[in-house]
Structures are given as C-alpha cells and as structure tokens.
Amino acid sequence: MTIKAGDKMPAGTFKQMTAEGPKEVSAEALFAGKTVVLFSVPGAFTPTCDAKHLPGFVQHADAFKAKGVDAIVCVSVNDMFVMNAWGKASNVGDKVAMLADGNGDYARALGLELDARGFGMGMRGQRFAIIAKNGVATQVNVEAPGKFEVSSAEYVLGQL
C-alpha cells in the first residue's frame, strides 16, 4: 500500500556516514516532533538527481528552514558510502542529510519502490517528496515516470 497524506511514516532505519563513522538513523528519531522534508531519488549521481533534484534542496535550504522545516533529507537506494560521496561532491554540508536505504526496505515500506532493472539499476525508490510533521505525512508528491515536477524543491516549498 502506498503512503498517502494523513498516514503515519513507517518504521525503519537508514544508514548515514558521519565524521565518527557509520550510524543508523531510525525513522522514529528522524520524524518525531519535527517537520521533515524527505525526498527520494532513483540514484545518486544519476542525471536529473545530480543536476536538478539535490541541488534545488541545497539551494533553497534556508527558505525551507524559514518556513519551519527542521530537516531536509535525501534518501536513495544506494549505500551510505555512495550517499556520503555524493553529498561531498554536491557540497551539501549540513543543509541536507544524505541517508542510505541500501536494500530499499524503506522505499518498500512506503509502497514507493521502483523496478529499474531495465536500466541495469535493480530495485530502487521512486522519485518523490514527502512533507512529514511529527511522524505523519502531510504531503506526498510522487513523480510520474520520467518526470521531475512535484518533487522539486520549488514545488515542495510552495506547499509549506
């Protein structure tokens, strides 16, 4: 079942590379008592994700904070080492948390997995953006195949 506005964010864990080394981040800790924008890309360093999706959230991070967003989170079905390298290459600093959903478990829990085997990428997460307040999805924006519109930073910013 695909998550929709009004649904509780599912339980799960992500991996994140920190200055102290690998760290697990629980969905509960990520979302509890906060306003979070979680956006998903099919793959780190892939064309639209790298040129448009992530940069938009980095560029508008201050505007998100000004509208009460506590955290901006980029998630992908990549490992934490790739997500860390992508974050460094994209100069995200502390503006966007780069979290790995290495096995796609969270994408499946959301009902937003993507079969990208035809592109040689295996199972991934769809391109989407979710605004969550205190662990409840208030906006769920899932892109149509091949599109980049409703999950962009600018579109999501307009929903806050």
Bridge partners of 23, per DSSP, are: 16
Q: Average model confidence (pLDDT) for the chain?
A: 93
Which band of pLDDT confidence, cut at 50, 70 and 90, is reported for residue 16?
Answer: very high
Task: Calculate mean pLDDT across residues 123-132.
Answer: 92
Structural tokens at position 19: 């200055």
Task: Calculate mean pLDDT across residues 126-135.
Answer: 96
Residues 6+ apart with CB under 8 A from 88: none
pLDDT at 44: 87
Minimal CA–CA distance to 15: which of 110, 84, 96? Answer: 84
pLDDT at 80: 95
Please tell me which residue in 3, 17, 27, 49 is annotated as part of the active site: 49
| Catalytic residue check, 74 | no
d(CA 12, CA 104): 11
> Which CATH number among 3.90.1150.10, 3.30.540.10, 3.90.1170.50, 3.40.30.10 corresponds to the domain 13-159?
3.40.30.10
